[in-house]
Structure 1
């Protein structure tokens, strides 16, 4: 029995020693791999920067040649197309992870600290984008359900007056929603997504408004109809926003996939309301967007008027009114800018198409020379 126990102990010691040796070998292999991959990564970073710089210099030289008239316009367009293709490969492919990342900004540093949220693998970046799209889809339903429930309960159960807790819970949800959207959009921007800066600023304003609203005393009595008119209008606007978001999401996804296939957008790009839809869909979406923006401005002005006439004179009413007007104006300006850019792009495409048809109708260059 003693010999058996001794053999068992000896076997355990030998296996433990082998486990330690195996761990040391694994550590050495991992350290060598990290060192080797670090060297290769640095080399790829230098090559990526050099390639990006070369493309930028070629574009500058091409522009200068076109201005001097030393390059034919048709040849210049073909060269520009090739340079765009090369730039797209670098900025939208796996090479993009080796380029210097966009500054994370104060907002991300304030919430997450000095950590790097840039994903080095393209599949991880695309998962972040898909999760963002899924979150927006789910938000559309909640944007419609929550205010609808509050308005229905106001009529059926609360005798025309909102209880303070119910409205504050809704405002707390809005604060969480806009904060999470702003965080996700900043992360997408760091990972190469071309999000318009206004939409991130818009969510900052919405966060501030939700935070201010949490401190707003909205007890209905004795002037329930006057005190809570702004809340009622805001909930009605939120319902309209939910309907618009439901209509947009499907159109946006289809339109973005089309633009990616045509090479007009990157796989990490996202779109918002004013960029959604194709020709027939835009006739439906743009009026809805303009109505929403006008209604949002009306609510803000109504709150300011309520504060000025003394019905509800709290500072929260003034701040929320100003923020609503600012957001409505910003949304309107961005929508109009997008419409103008679309019209300019369509006019350019029509001119290009007319030129191609004209060239096709003429005899070949050699025939004309004869």
Structure 2
């Protein structure tokens, strides 16, 4: 009996000791959380100060640029050189402001507001930004492989409307997700711009129209061509991912590219070195989009064609062809001109 009492007493003392340790750690936690709240308030105030200062700077630079533009019309050569130097410095400062804002909370654009609401999507640390970018790249790679396998399955193994609908729904979901993720990346400093931003919105619309196209003889006439195009498109995107990611890694290591630059479904100027072999694959894919458009226009002109989706898909494929082809052609033209200019300067220096 005495031994039981002693054991109970020792157990109680151990519990009291553990409670004391837990209570001491709890007090420390409260103090740490208090400091955290203070630092968080300080951070919020600093963010507001920086955002206000950037807006003020931008307004002042805009007025200065407008004044310089007026002065440039009446100045001599000496003053013109000073004006050009000031304009170059203004442009450089604007690029710095863009990098600063990547670490400051900002209002979402219209698209993100519609999808997510007024939620702050700014990632404040470099580690979080890079992790999100890498996860985005892996998502594109995995989905490209899945879509390729899905198109192969629908074309060669399962000729059912249900499987086609699943594949088309997967395309809609994939492109919708890409547009959201890219918008978040742009809010965090990724320099995605131009046609390659609009490209995924157009692709989302095209996939949505394809999803609503009802079963029928006209659909069956275009089905195999669309699935074959989807297989080829996934194959090219798979090639682009590996070669663009390798090129970007090298350029980032040399400090020539932003850490948040992404692989895209097109040709960029930084891809020129070692990646020009992709151009034939890209141009072939662009003209296949044109071929899809022509095929659909012909189908829409048939007397037995009653579906509005046929004409709409023809227009959408035409828009994709024009956007992809003209943008790629523009980049190639600019790069060739730049190379020619550099060669001329080298000859002059010799």
Q: Which residue of 2 aligns with 1:174?
A: 171
Q: Which residue of 2 aligns with 1:256?
A: 248
Deviation string for 1:274-311 (max 9, x for gaps)? 127335531x3222212211111211221222122134
Cα deviation for residue 243 of structure 1 reads 2.0
For the residues of structure 1 that align with 2:168 and 2:260, how far apart are their CA atoms? 31
- Aligned residues of 2:54 and 2:97 also touching (Cα < 8 A): yes
Deviation string for 1:217-241 (max 9, x for gaps)? 224xxx4xx5412111111111111
Deviation string for 1:31-81 (max 9, x for gaps)? 3222333344445556666777898899899997897432797x9999999
Q: Which residue of 2 aligns with 1:277?
A: 271
SS at match of 1:274: coil
For the residues of structure 2 that align with 1:236 and 1:305, how far apart are their CA atoms? 19
RMSD: 3.9
Q: Does 1:202 align with 2:168?
A: no
For the residues of structure 1 that align with 2:249 and 2:67, how far apart are their CA atoms? 33
For the residues of structure 2 that align with 1:255 and 1:119, how far apart are their CA atoms? 25
Q: Does 1:319 align with 2:325?
A: no
- Count of aligned pairs between the two proteins: 339
SS at match of 1:34: helix
Unaligned runs of 5+ in 1: 155-161, 359-370
For the residues of structure 2 that align with 1:345 and 1:77, how far apart are their CA atoms? 21
Q: Does 1:69 align with 2:77?
A: yes
Question: In structure 2, do the counterparts of structure 1 residues 318 and 134 end up closer, same or farther at CA, with 3 Å as the change threshold?
Answer: same
For the residues of structure 2 that align with 1:22 and 1:323, how far apart are their CA atoms? 62
SS at match of 1:70: helix
Q: How does 1:1-370 map to 2 (within 5 A)?
A: 15=20, 24-45=30-51, 68-70=76-78, 91-92=98-99, 95-98=100-103, 101=106, 104-153=108-157, 162-219=159-216, 223=217, 227-261=219-253, 263-272=255-264, 273-275=266-268, 277-279=271-273, 281-282=275-276, 284-355=277-348, 357-358=349-350
For the residues of structure 2 that align with 1:183 and 1:168, how far apart are their CA atoms? 23
Question: In structure 2, do the counterparts of structure 1 residues 32 and 243 end up closer, same or farther at CA, with 3 Å as the change threshold?
Answer: closer
- Aligned residues of 2:51 and 2:101 also touching (Cα < 8 A): no
SS at match of 1:278: helix
Question: In structure 2, do the counterparts of structure 1 residues 84 and 40 end up closer, same or farther at CA, with 3 Å as the change threshold?
Answer: same
Unaligned runs of 5+ in 2: none
Cα deviation for residue 97 of structure 1 reads 3.7
Question: In structure 2, do the counterparts of structure 1 residues 99 and 228 end up closer, same or farther at CA, with 3 Å as the change threshold?
Answer: same
Report the TM-score, using the length of structure 1 for normalisation. 0.75
Cα deviation for residue 18 of structure 1 reads 6.2
For the residues of structure 1 that align with 2:242 and 2:87, how far apart are their CA atoms? 33
Deviation string for 1:234-288 (max 9, x for gaps)? 1111111122112222221233234435554322122422127335531x32222
Cα deviation for residue 164 of structure 1 reads 0.7
Cα deviation for residue 186 of structure 1 reads 1.0
For the residues of structure 1 that align with 2:104 and 2:65, how far apart are their CA atoms? 19
For the residues of structure 2 that align with 1:166 and 1:98, how far apart are their CA atoms? 44
For the residues of structure 2 that align with 1:183 and 1:138, how far apart are their CA atoms? 17
- Aligned residues of 1:48 and 1:98 also touching (Cα < 8 A): no
SS at match of 1:277: helix
- Aligned residues of 1:259 and 1:265 also touching (Cα < 8 A): yes
For the residues of structure 1 that align with 2:340 and 2:131, how far apart are their CA atoms? 36
- Aligned residues of 1:97 and 1:121 also touching (Cα < 8 A): no
Report the TM-score, using the length of structure 2 for normalisation. 0.78
